[in-house]
Amino acid sequence: MSPQIELVWPAEADDLLRVEVHRVIHAVVEMGGAVGYLRPPGREETDPFLDDVLADVRLGRAALALARVDGVVRAMGLWRRASAPVFEHSAELGKVMAHPSARGLGLGRLVVGALVDDARAAGIETLTLGVRGNNHGAIQLYEELGFREWGRLPNVIEVGLERFDDVRMFLELGRDPKLLLRGSSPGGIGSSPRRPRGRAS
């Protein structure tokens, strides 16, 4: 019998949800997953993280997608708006992970696809993310969903005595056609001219 998979979008957390989210994060980190922890975290780390994300969810500044397999949380991911007002229409995708026991069920694709759709519906124009350079499976998944690499910081992610690239990716979700997209062209608010280069002596 195929497992029953459903997506849920919590705005509040009871103790059972905190336990299930902790189990996913702990197991992924224990297996070496690149989700922002140097060592498997305890509840004293994952509970405040979850409460903080859900506070932003209630403010419309984030969304948390959880995939339940046969009623138990086995995968997760979130998007969160940038904090500075000038970046209000962009958001960071993060904490995308699946419990090792649920690998191969397509939960990563399900969660990321749902987060992309949800962010677009919330008016997000650009989604960004960071992924560890050796996580080729995740990079491939993001590319298949339309994300493109815009740069990388070499060897900045610490895992013990090893260092890995931080690969930065983005996905444009669409903009109001009335917007003026200036990019890096001269002119507009805050513009400054290039300075003439001095001659070498």
- 199 pLDDT band, cuts 50/70/90, is low
* CATH number for the domain formed by residue range(s) 5-172: 3.40.630.30
- 201 pLDDT band, cuts 50/70/90, is low
Using only C-alpha atoms, what is the Rg of the chain?
19
Which pTM value belongs to this model? 0.91
Above 70 in pLDDT, residue 16? Answer: yes
**How many whole angstroms separate alpha carbon 181 and alpha carbon 90?**
15
* Phi and psi at residue 192, to the nearest 5°: -140, 145
Taking residues 88-98, what's their average pLDDT? Answer: 96
Domains of the chain, residue spans: 5-172
pLDDT at 200: 60
- 189 pLDDT band, cuts 50/70/90, is confident
pLDDT at 1: 81
Among residues 108, 103, 100, which one has the least CA distance to residue 67?
108
Taking residues 178-199, what's their average pLDDT? Answer: 83
Taking residues 145-172, what's their average pLDDT? Answer: 95
pLDDT at 184: 86
